[in-house]
Structure 1
Amino acid sequence: MTENLTLQQAQKLVLASQGIFNPRKNVPAIEQTLSTIEKLGYIQIDTISAVQRAHHHTLWSRNPRYQNAQLDELVAERKIFEYWSHAAAYLPMKDYRFSLFRKNALFKGEQNHWFKKDLQLMGQVLNRIKNEGPLMAKNFDSEKKTKTWASKPAKQALENLFMQGELMITSRKNFHKVYDLTERVLPKAIDLRMPSQKEYHRFLINNYLKANGIGQASEISYLLKNTKTHIAGELKEMHSSGELIKVTVNGIDYFALPESLALLDKPLNCKQLKILSPFDNLLIQRKRMLNLFNFDYQIECYLPEAKRKYGYFSLPILWNGSFAARMDCKADRKTSILNIHHLALEEGLGDRGAFALALCKELEAFKEFNNCMEIQLHKTSPSEVKTSINKTLLT
């Protein structure tokens, strides 16, 4: 049996599963941050700092009480850890054993990471950390003169040891990773049982569908090497056994957990405007966003300036359950000004006045989140919107 969902129902299911709206107010803020990471399965880490970095931004979007220090605190308390999802990410410590599947494959050479292994150098790096305690890549720079400890090879050795599970990131100092032996970082009661191949792929399926509502094999296996065929087989088996249901949206087939459909009967306050990170879990897969939200999005910071349509780092703006605009902005830390270089409205936006009010309200919170005191709007598309938004900002 296949459930037919309207596009609006599918959008509601996705947004409800992502936890962007209706934040929990009856728990401590750091507890909500942890529950958000556990619900989503990962929070992508990114280095771009035009505004607050992606990992902070994604959490703030779902938890208005979020503070940047909460991530460091959760790492220190061993409730989350850094590793690899489809990219570098913070992951829930409760899911640690499922990182062992990839680590073991890398250790055995069944998978390759970016860097070729220098086993001798890796052994030397490991011994230094064992004897001296936690170290950063720059701690090896002082030994460049020997030509053995050049920073780049040492950094590669650290990353290889990290990826295959012998080292973990115990903290960060000014965003630089601090590595320590895995056994000195892990909580004592952690589950270290190696998952079977079936367990691992079913974990990926369940995690994805809980966080995203509906999904396909290509979406669940996104940037995860050697998983798509196995996931497709498990999806078929789980559907046959009744663990999953099929849903069709605009003629496209997806899978869902049966219990997820109950979210369609619950209210979702999606009228609040949300300014999202380009690396937000909701829209990291661009083809999915085009199919489900008719939102054709691209990060233009990787394009030459002449080819950019919206700006260097345009942030998607979600309003009334749809993507309503894109906002290219940069927080100037010296002047404490949040510069909106280009605000571009999507076609068919509707009530521009209501949108302007919702945007300006959220911009005040976004300004504070970025430690800014003032907002300057430089350009809008269409151009006549600039006047009304500036008036609203001043009132």
Structure 2
Amino acid sequence: MPISISQQDARKLVLQSQQLPASKQAGGTTDATLSAIEHLGYIQIDTISAVQRAHHHTLWNRNPRYQTTHLDKLVANKQVFEYWSHAAAYLPMQDFRFSLPRKQAIASGEQGHWYTPDKHLMKSVRKRIETGGPLMAKDFEHKGEKLGEWRSKPAKKALECLYMQGDLMISSRQNFHKVYDLSERVLPKGVNTTPPNQEEYARFLIFSFLRANGLGQATEIAYLRKNTKPLITNTLKDMAASNELLQINVGGNHYYALAESMKLLNKPLARSKLAILSPFDNLLIQRKRMQMLFDFDYLIECYVPEEKRQYGYFSLPVLWDGKLQARMDCKVDRKSSHLRIQHLALDASLKKIDAFTHALYKQLPAFMLFNHCTQLSLHKSTPQNLPPMPINLTGI
């Protein structure tokens, strides 16, 4: 029989599983970052740099001592690698074998790639890296016209095809540009490279998702993973029938959860602590899920024409009191070390405005420091009559 829990408890379960807001941590700072990546299962990479990029931002919210050098160090130490989850991501090396089903599907042609493979060029590019060592796309000369929707030169397309089918991996990044090398030279000794069978793969996806997200549905677990939903649906049913999973009812919506995760409901949630989130944070990436569980209808508006934007180009969701309560459109002016809040918009349902703004103003100095800013300005707020920002927030 399904267990019914309230929406408030469902949110608490999700937030505790997502390690939000962050709690105090012991041990080394880089170890804490690795622990967060291994727990969450992936960290999405994104190129938008209105504030610190998404992969850094997401990790900073789990590890307040996070430094942007951590990811490079973890890649160099072969503890983390780049590949695809639902999107480009950093993944724990301990999960490497579960990246193989997608690679095999792309290599066999069962799953398409956004670039049409040029087998002859791919062979040539691979050979050059094999003999000459790690290379970036810019190391391949191309004097002709760039082709395709993304205006990419042919060698870049070949590199990406080789990367997605598993021949190449990213050994490092230089100024955010990928450095490609043969997979066998990037992988650490002893890593498990045995492809999982279908049942192993489905169970991995289910356990990983539920561990990091508290509760979930088949559609959510299969999100942007082609051809996996029927397998995941059947495996969920089998695991529930054998009492490996609990069935949870939240307001008429049905989910699955790990029994051990339910213990998180006994832990207090740091409701007074506020978190300024990336639009690509693991908590938020599935918008329909956020609407169902948190009543939070979120759209990142950088892809929306300026005249149609409601909140701003890069509005950051704000978590407080166990709910997503506001959006804060931010832009860092790096030349002047200035954090500009273009628009702070509180949800209409937020009633404790004084307590919320107190928590926000308390968190902003840390957010400024994370973004290497010494100045702060608020240009617009909704509603307009918010409590004034303390003057000491204008500098650190």
Does the pair score TM above 0.5? yes
Indicate yes or no: 2:143 matched with 1:144.
yes
Amino acid aligned to 1:108: S
Aligned to 2:61: 61
Task: Could you tell me which runs of 5 or more consecutive residues in structure 1 were left unpaired when the two chains were aligned.
Answer: none
Task: Quote the Cα distance in structure 2 between the aligned partners of 1:28 and 1:108.
Answer: 42
- Residue deviations 1:265-298, cap 9 Å, x none? 1222232000000000001111111111111100
Aligned to 1:200: 201
Task: Quote the Cα distance in structure 1 between the aligned partners of 2:187 and 2:87.
Answer: 21
Indicate yes or no: 2:157 matched with 1:161.
no
Task: Quote the Cα distance in structure 2 between the aligned partners of 1:220 and 1:151.
Answer: 32
8 Å CA contact 1:339–1:375 kept in 2: the answer is yes
Amino acid aligned to 1:239: A
Indicate yes or no: 2:10 matched with 1:17.
no
Amino acid aligned to 1:83: Y
Q: How does 1:244-323 map to 2 (within 5 A)?
A: 244-323=245-324
- Residue deviations 1:71-121, cap 9 Å, x none? 000000000000000000000000000111111111111111111110000
Change (3 A) 1:309 1:151: closer
Change (3 A) 1:107 1:4: same
Change (3 A) 1:357 1:145: closer
Amino acid aligned to 2:61: S
Amino acid aligned to 1:144: K
Aligned to 1:74: 74
User: What secondary structure does 2:348 align onto?
Assistant: coil
TM-score, length-normalised on structure 1? Answer: 0.96
Amino acid aligned to 2:279: P
Shift of 1:202: 1.1
Could you list the structure 1 runs, at least 4 aligned residues long, displaced by more than 4 angstroms after superposition.
145-148
Aligned to 2:4: 4
Aligned to 1:182: 183
8 Å CA contact 1:24–1:32 kept in 2: the answer is no
Change (3 A) 1:227 1:146: closer
Task: Quote the Cα distance in structure 2 between the aligned partners of 1:133 and 1:352.
Answer: 57
Aligned to 1:228: 229
Shift of 1:26: 1.3
Task: Quote the Cα distance in structure 1 between the aligned partners of 2:145 and 2:129.
Answer: 19
Q: CA RMSD in A?
A: 1.7
Change (3 A) 1:251 1:127: same
Task: Quote the Cα distance in structure 2 between the aligned partners of 1:175 and 1:35.
Answer: 23
Shift of 1:22: 4.3
User: What secondary structure does 1:388 align onto?
Assistant: coil
Change (3 A) 1:147 1:67: closer
Amino acid aligned to 1:313: F
Shift of 1:194: 1.0
Shift of 1:151: 5.9
Aligned to 2:98: 98
Task: Quote the Cα distance in structure 2 between the aligned partners of 1:145 and 1:224.
Answer: 35
The answer to which of 16-25 and 321-330 deviates more is: 16-25
Task: Quote the Cα distance in structure 1 between the aligned partners of 2:392 and 2:138.
Answer: 48
Change (3 A) 1:151 1:262: closer
Task: Quote the Cα distance in structure 1 between the aligned partners of 2:178 and 2:276.
Answer: 28
TM-score, length-normalised on structure 2? Answer: 0.96
Shift of 1:201: 1.2
Amino acid aligned to 2:251: N
8 Å CA contact 2:314–2:330 kept in 1: the answer is yes
8 Å CA contact 2:22–2:64 kept in 1: the answer is no
- Residue deviations 1:183-238, cap 9 Å, x none? 00000110011100111111111100000000001100111111111111111111
Shift of 1:128: 0.5
Amino acid aligned to 2:75: V
8 Å CA contact 2:146–2:154 kept in 1: the answer is no
Indicate yes or no: 2:341 matched with 1:340.
yes
Shift of 1:394: 6.1
Task: Quote the Cα distance in structure 2 between the aligned partners of 1:12 and 1:238.
Answer: 24
Shift of 1:24: 4.1
8 Å CA contact 1:40–1:211 kept in 2: the answer is yes
Q: Which has the higher helix share?
A: 1
- Residue deviations 1:156-183, cap 9 Å, x none? 1000100010000000000000000000
Shift of 1:348: 2.3
